[in-house]
């Protein structure tokens, strides 16, 4: 699901005010002790407002938060001879394909979009934009590629077309061949394991292409517009991390594919308010308690014929969470119940489509998904299954036998397992990411036999990841270190041979950070101070927050906090805290939000913030603002609505104001099925509308700035409108900044620049009274 590119052009944002003026003058404050007003005599040492580096915000916006230019989509050729990767220049989103020679350490540009399009403009279909939105990809030009199993050919999708590239002959006549089709743009094209065929989805149906001849065969036929074949449904892409909707058999002669039936589903509409003459876009969207897409799995030979359907109890397990069909082991699927409190891993009998359970997991709160497993391996004559579980409290990786019975643990308790990176069963080794420290991630090598202690192959605080060759001899280690280093290093047999080039721009400022551990729960926090920090002055405080599931906001990666530093250089102290509900601290820590999205996170953020205020006397705890995006926007709205005694102003970016209006898989995982309208329950106590509509209490009110893209197809713009309407009718001061034509991401530089300037203006007005 995605908003078409036609709605993505920039239209100047507009502001709607409810209960307060949108001018520079502050509104009349109903709560002088917790809102605006002049500083008291005791506050006379408040640091004056400052003007930070004027070049920063331009650079931050033009470089996509300084992310452009770093290597991505890193791929090691099957023989380990070269490392391929995509990158752009710092102020461009136009990706180019590079090749790094492992033997010589030399690097060259391998391919550019212009070589394929031959002067034509790039065009993206609505479906491809939807996939990129789900993957949070903003790149243009070469945005993806794949390598044939023998490494000789590259498959490059561009502008809905498919190009086959002879890697060794690039630059020569005939090296590039377009696989032409009259059946529509191609989505998710992939080589077969033999390299002789390519599968893709066109117009909601599955096709297969003969690589040698270019001949294309249609394998499925949609019965209606409500049916799609070969594509993952919205919640699979957005919430499960499953982007694929078909899977090749190991012999390349058949496919397993998803059939998605949207019949009877509620549809959501997106209208471009700046162009009411245009037709609205309509998308099936499953809200809590409403009908989901019905997903089934079929088996089909590439020569064509009838589908054999895979059988499981769809009523008990409506979610297809994962599919694994590798060179070792059977076709295996993971299915979940709707509440995500039970899941079963099933082995599929290809001869008749029947399934048999390998294992079942249960959790009274919810089950998390690890996208890196299941994984079948063969060690000698033994077929074994790699699986991860939280059944004993910590994420751990284990080995199970062919029947699915537990055999041995591969990672110890307290190890901080994050995910499986690669496996080399022949040499009894695998690579995982893990860390006992929730603010860092390391890469470890482990023994598949469990007879050798795990060995760290990265060190130092920061975030580390790895790409490993088939034989495990070539590894690309990427790190974002606490000292600010960002690099991707190529190693062969444990020795460094070079680093992938980066076109990223050096930021015009460095983050002035301290990492803190505070309070009874040992909350992790990061504090940004102004570069001209004066120990004798006090500073207003901004809490930059996410506070929700799946995201660690406190990591030892300084570049992540450059925007916080820019805010701090306005003479603020900017704080980020990870409390309960965030990952990396064990099962109980994360599941503290079960059936209540806000109570534990709000309690933790306030208590940790106050602990920091005691530790850092320059923090003016009477002048605290809060801001965040997505779940962080929801938290910011709830913080301003529930605790105006702590937070004097809040900025809520793309907030979920009513969880009944978000999607099923995410919301029901944490809150369950919704209670009746008007009844007390998880949805009522977790809704921002509940608190926005309440009468103003003795604690007063905190002004709220709501920011939202009108074309957001993840958190729909209706969330912002409902929140603004509720605050208006309750007499609460709130402003709505609508980003016309933009989605959940804000990649457009001028909008990003103006938006962050507006956020600081809002805080200046309500935290300083300026």
Tokens of 217: 């065969």
Measured distance CA(545)–CA(495) in Å, rounded:
40
| 3-state class (DSSP) for residue 198 | strand
Q: Please confirm, yes or no, whether 744 is among the known catalytic residues.
A: yes
Tokens of 112: 């550019």
Measured distance CA(228)–CA(234) in Å, rounded:
12
Measured distance CA(441)–CA(478) in Å, rounded:
11
Strands 649-653 and 619-629: parallel
- Whether omega for the bond prior to residue 374 falls within 30 degrees of 0, making it cis, is yes
Q: Are 594 and 366 in contact (CB under 8 A)?
A: yes
Q: Please report which helix (H) or strand (E) contains residue 609, including its range.
A: helix 599-615
Selection from 506, 524, 497 nearest residue 82 by Cα? 497
Measured distance CA(592)–CA(601) in Å, rounded:
8
Q: Please report which helix (H) or strand (E) contains residue 422, including its range.
A: strand 417-424
Q: Which residue has the tokens 């080589």?
A: 191
Q: Are 269 and 711 in contact (CB under 8 A)?
A: no
Q: Are 274 and 740 in contact (CB under 8 A)?
A: yes
Q: Please confirm, yes or no, whether 636 is among the known catalytic residues.
A: no
Q: Please confirm, yes or no, whether 571 is among the known catalytic residues.
A: no
Q: What are the start-end ranges of the H helices in 430-532?
A: none
Catalytic residue, candidates 665, 744, 756, 766:
744
Phi, psi of 433 (to 5 degrees): -105, 140
Measured distance CA(45)–CA(35) in Å, rounded:
19
Catalytic residue, candidates 569, 578, 712, 713:
712
Measured distance CA(250)–CA(327) in Å, rounded:
5
Measured distance CA(27)–CA(161) in Å, rounded:
55
- Give the 3-state DSSP-derived string for 354-378, with helices as H, strands as E and coil as C: CEEEEEEEECCCCCCCCCCCCEEEE
Measured distance CA(720)–CA(707) in Å, rounded:
7
End-to-end CA distance of the chain: 43
Where are any strands of DSSP class E within 571-618? 573-578
Tokens of 759: 């956020």
Q: What is the DSSP letter of 49?
A: P
How far apart, in Å, are the Cα atoms of 427 and each of 22, 394, 449?
66, 27, 10
Catalytic residue, candidates 88, 478, 630, 636:
630
Measured distance CA(70)–CA(194) in Å, rounded:
32
Report the greatest alpha carbon distance in the chain: 83
Active-site residue numbers? 630, 712, 744
């Amino acid at each position: 699901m995605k908003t078409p590119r036609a709605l993505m052009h920039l239209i100047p944002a507009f502001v709607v005010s409810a209960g307060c003026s949108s001018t520079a003058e502050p509104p009349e404050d109903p709560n002088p002790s917790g809102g605006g007003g002049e500083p008291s005599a005791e506050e006379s040492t408040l640091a004056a407002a400052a003007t930070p580096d004027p070049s920063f915000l331009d650079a931050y916006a033009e470089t996509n938060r300084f992310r452009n230019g770093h290597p991505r989509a890193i791929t090691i050729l099957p023989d380990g001879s070269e490392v391929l990767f995509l990158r752009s220049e710092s102020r461009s989103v136009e990706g180019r394909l590079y090749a790094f020679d492992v033997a010589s350490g030399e690097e060259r540009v391998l391919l550019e979009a212009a070589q394929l399009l031959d002067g034509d403009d790039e065009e993206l279909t609505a479906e491809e934009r939807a996939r990129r939105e789900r993957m949070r990809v903003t790149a243009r030009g070469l945005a993806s590629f794949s390598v044939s199993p023998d490494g000789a050919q590259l498959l490059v999708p561009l502008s809905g077309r498919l190009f086959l590239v002879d890697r060794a002959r690039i630059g020569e006549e005939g090296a590039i061949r377009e696989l032409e089709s009259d059946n529509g743009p191609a989505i998710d094209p992939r080589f077969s394991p033999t390299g002789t065929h390519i599968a893709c989805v066109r117009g909601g149906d599955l096709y297969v292409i003969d690589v040698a001849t270019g001949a294309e065969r249609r394998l499925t036929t949609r019965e209606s517009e409500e049916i799609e074949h070969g594509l993952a449904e919205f919640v699979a892409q957005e919430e499960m991390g499953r982007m694929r909707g078909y899977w090749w058999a190991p012999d390349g002669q058949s496919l397993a594919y998803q059939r998605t039936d949207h019949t009877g589903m509620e549809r959501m509409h997106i209208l471009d308010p700046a162009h009411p003459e245009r037709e609205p876009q309509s998308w099936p969207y499953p809200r809590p308690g409403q009908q989901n897409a019905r997903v089934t799995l079929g088996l089909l030979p590439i020569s064509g014929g009838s589908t054999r359907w895979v059988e499981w109890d769809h009523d008990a397990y409506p979610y297809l969470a994962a599919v694994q069909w590798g060179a070792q082991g059977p076709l295996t699927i993971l299915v979940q119940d709707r509440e995500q409190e039970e899941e079963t891993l099933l082995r599929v009998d290809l001869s008749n489509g029947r399934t048999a359970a390998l294992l079942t997991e249960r959790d009274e709160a919810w089950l998390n998904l690890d996208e890196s497993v299941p994984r079948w391996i063969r060690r000698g004559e033994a077929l074994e299954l790699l699986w991860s579980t939280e059944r004993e409290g910590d994420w751990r990786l284990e080995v199970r036998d062919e029947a699915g019975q537990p055999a041995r643990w591969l990672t110890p308790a307290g190890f901080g397992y994050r995910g499986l990176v690669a496996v080399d069963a022949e040499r009894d080794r695998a690579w995982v990411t893990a860390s006992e420290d929730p603010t860092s991630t390391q890469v470890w090598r482990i023994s598949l036999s469990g007879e050798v202690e795990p060995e760290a192959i990265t060190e130092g605080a920061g975030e580390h990841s790895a790409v490993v060759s088939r034989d495990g001899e070539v590894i690309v280690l990427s790190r974002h270190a606490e000292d600010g280093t960002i690099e991707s290093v190529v190693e062969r047999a444990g020795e460094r041979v070079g680093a992938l080039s980066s076109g990223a721009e050096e930021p015009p400022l460095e983050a002035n950070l301290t990492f803190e551990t505070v309070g009874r729960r040992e909350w992790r926090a990061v504090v940004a101070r102004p570069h001209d920090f004066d120990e004798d002055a006090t500073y207003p405080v901004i809490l930059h927050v996410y506070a929700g599931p799946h995201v660690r906001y406190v990591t030892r990666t300084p570049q992540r906090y450059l925007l916080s530093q820019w805010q701090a250089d306005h003479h603020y102290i900017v704080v980020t805290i990870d409390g309960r509900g965030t990952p990396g601290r064990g099962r109980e820590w994360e599941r503290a939000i079960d059936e209540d999205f806000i109570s534990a996170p709000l309690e933790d953020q306030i208590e940790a913030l106050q602990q920091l205020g005691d530790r850092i006397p320059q923090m003016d705890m009477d002048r605290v603002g809060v801001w965040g995006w997505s779940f962080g926007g929801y938290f910011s709205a709830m913080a301003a609505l529930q605790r105006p005694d702590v937070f004097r102003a809040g900025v809520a970016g793309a907030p979920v104001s009513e969880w009944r209006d978000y999607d099923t898989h995410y919301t029901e995982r944490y809150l369950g099925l919704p209670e009746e309208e008007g009844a007390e329950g998880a949805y009522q106590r977790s809704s921002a509308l509940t608190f926005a509509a309440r009468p103003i209490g003795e604690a007063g009110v905190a002004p709220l700035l709501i920011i939202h893209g009108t074309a957001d197809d993840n958190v729909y713009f209706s969330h912002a409108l409902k929140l603004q309407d509720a605050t208006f009718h309750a007499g609460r001061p709130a402003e709505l900044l609508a980003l016309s034509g933009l989605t959940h991401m804000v990649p457009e530089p001028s909008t990003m620049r103006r938006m962050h300037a507006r956020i600081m203006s809002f805080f200046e007005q309500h935290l300083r009274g300026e």
